Amino acid sequence: MLRAARLESALYEEVEADRTATGQAFAVVLMSALATGVGALGNSGLAGLVWHSALDVALWYAWAGVTLWIGTRLLPGPETSADLGELLRTLGFASAPGVLRVLALVPPLGFAVFTVCGLWMIAAMVVALRQALDYPSTARAAAVCALGAPVYAVGQMVSLVLLGPWPL
């Protein structure tokens, strides 16, 4: 997780190729989701803990499917070759910075923690997509991330509507 959070492209290549790492990727997503729920306890209570865990796992799977389609069908590169498992593994590890969202329990830090972790996770997702989709450039991976962002944004909007705003 530390290597994933440090945006080490070699780590993303390793988990892309390691079919046994899907369970580990799921564990990273779940830890990040639980940290989000704990960080938002002041706002959404215990229901938020359950909700964030379920939502983040669902969004991970949806995000992998959407970015797989965008990356292999809409914006493929000459070397692009990927399957859903590769995207699930790399994007799962890209959620590693989200474990720091637990620090949002400290009220004055809440908004900053969620913002910094969110931006850090986006950067990790771009690196994960670049490696999983075998892109030579980061720009194409960033474009895939940007085109797929509405899926994630809709999920977060649903969360806000059901649970209220993030802690500030």
Where do runs of H (alpha helix) occur along the chain?
Answer: 2-5, 9-17, 22-39, 41-69, 84-94, 110-132, 138-163
What is the per-residue pLDDT across 55-76, written as a single tens digit (0 to 9) for each? 888 999 999 999 999 999 999 9
CB atoms within 10 A of CB 137: 10
Given a cut of 80, whether residue 21 has pLDDT beyond it is yes
User: Using CA atoms, how far apart are residues 121 and 8, in angstroms rounded to an integer?
Assistant: 13
Work out the mean pLDDT of the chain and round it to a whole number: 90
Q: Which residue has the higher pLDDT, 124 or 108?
A: 124
Q: Residue 114: name the closest of 57, 41, 36, 42 by CA.
A: 36
